[in-house]
Structures are given as C-alpha cells and as structure tokens.
Amino acid sequence: MIISPPFLPAAGATSSNADAPDPMMDAVDQFELAHGIYPIAFDRRWHPGIHLMPGTQNERVRAIADGEVVAYRVTQQAVDGGEGALDSNTGFVLLKHATETGDGRSITFYSLYMHLMELDGYTGLGVQVNSLPEFLRTPTPEEGQAGGGKKIHRKDVLGLPGRCHGQRHIHFEIFMLPSDFNAFFASTQLDNKQPATPTHKDCWGHTYYIIPAGQTFLAKPTGTDAHNKLRGVAITTLQGGSNDGYPLHVETWFHHGNKYTNTWKVNQDGSRTLFTPQPVKEAGYEYDLFTRASNLYPDCPSDGYELLRFGRILSDQPTLQDGETNTPPGPAPGLSGNPHPMTQANPCVTWMRITCAEGQEGYLDVNGSNIVKLSDADFPYLTGWTKISEDNTPYSDDGMCDIDELVKIIGETAPQPPGAKEYEDEDALSNYVKGNNSVRTTLRGFICEAPTEWNSAHNDTRYAKLNEADGFYGKQKDANPTGYSDFLKLLAKFQFWDKTGIADNKLWFFHPLQFIRHFRKCGWLGMKEFEQIYSDARYSPHKRPHAPQLRSTYLTPLNCAVRKYGLTSPTRLAHFLGQGAVESGWLGSMQETSMLGHLDAIGFHGTSENPASTAAESGLGHWYGAIPAEDDAWFRSKKYNSHGGLITGSYDWKLGNCDREDAQKFRGRGFKQLTGRSNYADYWLFRGWLKKTDFSPHWWDDPAYHGHNRSGMTRQPAIIDNPQHVALPENCVDSGGFYLRCERPNVAKEIDADSSEAAETEELKRAEFAISQKVTRAINGALLADRERWEDTRAAKKILS
C-alpha cells in the first residue's frame, strides 16, 4: 500500500530531526486548523474530517493513493456563504481506493477533498487550469456528477484549497463502507483489550510488546562473558530491575540503521505513564543486524534475523523451534549462576533492552509465550485506536456530542460549570478539545461509526434542533423567518451523496492524517502499484512468461523479502527494485542463461541464447547440468558475443568454485543473481541449510586452490547438492535481500544517504548517480550497466516517494 498526504511539502523542508520516522507527516500535521477538528466541530457537532491549509494557497491538493473517481463537482465561481459575498467553495472530489496491505489482505477506502477552489480563482493566482486532470477543467452541474470510474493516480493534482465562509482550507476525510471495514478489520485486534500474539504472518510497521507485571530485567543477558560479550556481540551493562506491580507496553522501530524503543508503565486504572520521554536509541543496531543474528543464532541466522526485527519468526518453515536443549553443567566463567553462553534453554531467546522503571533499564527475553507480540498490522488498542460505534458513541441522533460521555471514553475530567446551558456546553467542549493536546491525540485514534454529513436525507434529523424555540434559528424567527430554510438551501449546495451510488446509512470514519501516517508504515506493494514500477512496457511482447504472470509469481515473495530485510522505506525499496530490474531482467531471468555458439582457445563465442539454459529448474527437478547431457561450456569459459566483444570472464576457479561443474552449478540465480559456491555457502548458512562444521572456512585460500589443483586441496569446500533452490520464487527474492543486507552490509548506509525523491537539479542528479554507483559496485563488483541501474532506481522513486 502506497499512500501519501494530500499536500506534499517540498523535499528537504519537512524536518530537521534526523530521528523523525516520518518528517513529511510531521509537516502536514501543522496544516490542521483548530476550527475543523476530527471528530468534533466547534459547535459540538459530529465532524467526519479535518480542515487543512498549508502556508500558501498555491499548494496543490493531491490524491493520496491510486484510485477511481466516485463523484466530483467543479464550479466556475464561489457561492454566497450567507453573508452576501462569494466566499465559499462547493467543489469536491471523492475517490475510492483499493489496494493490499499483506498477503491476501485487501483494503478498500474512500477519500474526500471538499472546498476546492473555483476555476475563476486560478487566474488570480497565476496557476494554469490545465495543471488539473482534464475532467476537472470544466464546470459540472451544481449538484455534481458521478465519477464514471475515471482513474486517478497518487499525487495527481485535484485542485487548490478554496474557502468556506471566507476561511481558506479544504475539508478532508477518509472513510470505509461497513462491508469493507468488517472484511479488513475482522482479522485485526482492533478494540481487543486482551490481545494475543497473532498466528498469521501479517506484520508491518512498529512492533509492540505487552509485558506482564513481575518480570526480572537483567543488567546483562544470561550468558554474557567476562568481556561483556554475548557470543561475540558487545553488551552494554545496564541497571537491571523489575516491573513489580505493573505491566509494561513497549514499542520498537528501526530508522536509518538505528533501533528506537519507547516504554510505558500501565497503571491500575488503565492509564499509562511514559518512562521514555525520548525514545531509547541504539545507534547502528539495524545496520549490524546480520552480524548479531549470525552470532546469536548460528543454527539459523535467518530466523534469528526475524526474531531481532519482529520479535517472532515470520517464515513459513522456521528452523529454530522453542524448546529445551541440553546444557552442560556449571555456570559460565565469571558469571555465577548463569548457564554456558553457547547453550540456551530456548534457541529462540530474544534479549531486548527495555526501560523497566523510572531511570532503570534491563534486558528481558521477549520470546516467552507470556509476552504478547503485535505490530501496526494488528491495530492494537495500546497505540490509541478506539472504535466508536452505537454501543459507546457520545453523539446523539442530531450529531451533537455529549461532553460527559466523551470524557468517559477519554478517561479525563473536563471542566464544566454546573447547570451549563447549551452555548456553555459548546464553549466547554470546544475549550476541552482545543486546549488539551492529550485529548487531541486521543481523538486521532477514534474510528467512528456515523452518518455522512453530505447526505441531504439526514438534514432534518441532524439540524432540526436549530429551528426549535431555543435553537439558533428558532430564536431569530421574528427577525429572520426564513433563516432555517435558507440554511438548508445553502447546505444542499455542498451536499452530493445521491451522486455516489453508496447506499449505506452509516460509515466508518478515521482521522485522515492518522490513517495515512499509520498505513505509510505498511510497505507492502499492491499489485496495481507494482504494475506501475515493473510495467508492461519494460517487457518484450514475446517474453515468456508474460509480464502479468511474472508479477503474480514474484510479488508476494518480494513483499516478504522487503519486510524481512527492512527495505520498506521508499528510498531503500527504490534501490532494491532498480538494481533488481537489471540483475533479474525485470523478473524474467531469475537464473543465468548461456548462449549457443562455438568454443575455441580464446573462449566461447555466443551466437544466440541457449534455450536449454532458460528452462525453469523447478520443472527440471534438478539443477541445469546435473546430468551429462546438460554440460554447458559457456559458464566455465570466457564469454564473447557474436561480434567478438567480451561479455565476462570464466567462473571457473572463482568465487569458491573448484569442481569442474561448479561454474555451471553455481551460476547466477535469484533477484540479485547470487553466483559462486562461496556466496551460495553463505546463503545456505544463513538459512540454516548448512552448518559451519560441514566445511572448511575460506577453502579458496588453500594453496592448491590457487594452483587449480582440486585433488590437492586439504580444505573442504561447502557441499551444496541443490543449488536450484535459489531459483524457487520463495527463495529467489529472499536471496536478493540477503545479498544486499547481509553480504554487502554497508550498502544500506549508502542508500540511506540518498533522497526518496528523484533528483531534479543537475547537482543533485550527480550526487544521486554517485550513490547509485556505490550501490552498483557493492552488488555487482563493477559498474556494469550503472546508468541503467540509476535510471531504473529513479523511475521507482517517482512511483514510491
């Protein structure tokens, strides 16, 4: 799911805080106006959206995600808002969005952009109307019109912010239909106050831990040696302590290579006390994740990598299993009472640094079954998400909010004079909400079931009290007898629901910026989004399999690898996809192919692609070359094209290859074309398919290896019988993520120095190209197709940023 806010602050102007996980959303939060708070308007009425206004009126309003137009209205002029001036805009666009947030996890939602500027207003601002999509350049009927399924792309311009009663802003809202809401949230833990660690694999964003009271936090993890190292990983000595009498809520996330942790004490009344005014920062933790996983989980660093990142293993077939192992008697040297450092009662033990009390930190094994592990994919209550439905709504049928009922939900006390009148209720509620940041924060998590205000069929129910004797218009009947009817006529100019085709009486509304901020952490590419990056235009019409089949085969494995290796940020994902496009031929060459031609003393001169080498090894049932009839001299020779140009050298006696068939056996496979016996051995170790004791380390340093004397080697190379496993869809992209993050651990630092936006100026393009070249050299060992890789990365950035 790719989503962005309706205004896009200029790159580089969003935040000076390098630790901010989403500086763009921090900037857009500042555009929210006090007279349009979700979900309560200034007059105590239900308000389904927010009012936003950037610093300048020239700031374009943009679609937040790919979708289709449900309804819209374009006006030539503004309308009279009731004071005799053309000071209000009734223009709007309503969009429907459908995408995915995980494997089999589709989501459908709607976004509304109201009070878009009239066409006459563009001239005064010097903005060309042709900057709008064509359908928004000409006026529509006053009542608006159906969208007809017109397609829209994320970041497409929808207009400029207009006015309502002279106040410049847009009204912006996000909602879901009941059926869509139930379909998506039924498998989450929304509103579940007793959540359990989910058994499904839907996991993204930040990770959360619910730690019961009475846990002991150690100054050092069990097994730390006298040199403050745990299996070679340096350990910081902490205070240790306990959380006797209170549970803890813990939040962790990674950003630019660092790990961040927040901790709250849960009080007896359910309120929380933040122990970490500033998140605890473990610098470089994520950049070092592979080394940590390899040292702490030698039986399967891949599973350990996920334990350290997610607190649980997401792989379908984990190697590490919870359970008892044999441990030798006696404590480790210098640590009385601690078991031997190389053995642990649970091979999945996951030591985590946590603040356990005011000013006290310690280490706790969070792998225990008594500790609940969640993520943003679960919408856990401890992150502030709260359902407001008919069972607990503070709103009456007329849409008025009862301040006492609201206070009960929020759990705070609102000052209110005894025997307050209606207008005093309004002032009390307005002051309570506007002047209390903690209340505003709580309201951002409300997910409200309520009617839309854009359906004229609800007007009498919603506004009838205004015309009662003590109501706003009722008090003015002598002086303004048509006031209420004039109000309803003006209201109808803004409404449009009969053009939407939506029959549901009630919808589910979200604070729109909170919704966007939350789902921006998802990082899961939907198929339609993937089609824009790896588009049909990238493929030959004669390509087999066809582009749609390739995308369908590899999208879920790609998403799983991106999640596992922390490549979900737009910058990292753009480089991963851009580099992979060249390495894998846009997914079409997940195994290196050879050429037909002739072999002479110089090398192999290819004339055309060898069809035998293109056959999917999964269909062969063995690696290509495992039988004598498939012996292919191309791989162990210098390779020339039909014009005599050198393509690349021989793979014989390189990259750990030493047996006659190795150059072919360990040919390039996977998204990053994993090549050579040594790189295969590294991946096999990582996945737990091979043990270090099975072969000699650095067998290529054997003197006989340098003499190309296989029988004379005393060091034992890694034995890998099924190298074709890398070409399987579930492994080929994973191996690419492994190569990028584990075999080339400094690449992420280079990528993180880049911008998520495609550079525009020549100076910035040169800097961007230099970063791309560093990534290219790290992955490929040379600057092969370096400009093509840069251009493909830039193309991905334009879709992802």
The secondary structure of 110-165 as a DSSP string is EEEEEEEPPTHHHHHHT--GGGS-GGGSS---TT-EE-TT-EE-TT-EEE-BEEET
CB 708 within 8 A of CB 660: no
> In terms of Cα–Cα distance, which of 375, 372, 371, 369 is closest to 346?
369
Cα gap 784→792, rounded to integer Å: 14
What pLDDT was estimated at residue 373?
98
CB 210 within 8 A of CB 247: yes
Cα gap 69→63, rounded to integer Å: 10
Cα gap 374→727, rounded to integer Å: 32
CB 383 within 8 A of CB 444: no
Cα gap 794→682, rounded to integer Å: 31
Two structure tokens written together for 310: 């997610």
Beta bridge partners of 401: 395
- β-pairing, 207-211 with 233-234? unpaired
Q: What is the DSSP secondary structure assignment for residue 261, as one 8-state letter?
A: E
229: three-class secondary structure by DSSP? strand
- Those residues whose C-beta lies under 8 Å from the C-beta of residue 762, and which sit 6 or more positions away, are none
Cα gap 521→569, rounded to integer Å: 8
CB 603 within 8 A of CB 638: yes
- β-pairing, 151-152 with 61-62? unpaired
Q: Which helix (H) or strand (E) holds 324?
A: none
Cα gap 80→97, rounded to integer Å: 33
- On the CB side of 373, CA atoms within 13 Å amount to 23
Cα gap 723→636, rounded to integer Å: 17
CB 790 within 8 A of CB 769: yes
Cα gap 308→742, rounded to integer Å: 14
Q: At what angle do helices 762-780 and 786-800 cross, to 10 degrees?
A: 110
Q: Which helix (H) or strand (E) holds 423?
A: helix 422-434
CB 663 within 8 A of CB 652: yes
Tally helices (H) and strands (E) across the chain.
23, 31
What pLDDT was estimated at residue 692?
94
Pick out the chain residues at pLDDT < 50: 324-343, 413-424
CB 80 within 8 A of CB 189: no
Two structure tokens written together for 255: 């950003």
What pLDDT was estimated at residue 326?
35
Cα gap 271→356, rounded to integer Å: 17
Two structure tokens written together for 311: 């607190």
> In terms of Cα–Cα distance, which of 150, 109, 111, 108 is closest to 132?
150
What pLDDT was estimated at residue 329?
35
Cα gap 766→507, rounded to integer Å: 49
- β-pairing, 258-266 with 280-282? antiparallel
What pLDDT was estimated at residue 424?
47
> In terms of Cα–Cα distance, which of 375, 369, 368, 367 is closest to 201?
375
Residues counted in the chain = 801
DSSP for 442-485, please give it.
Answer: HHHTEEEEE--TT-GGGHHHHHGGGGSTTSTTGGGTTT-TTHHH
- On the CB side of 351, CA atoms within 13 Å amount to 25
Q: End-to-end distance of the chain based on CA atoms, in angstroms?
A: 12
What pLDDT was estimated at residue 217?
98
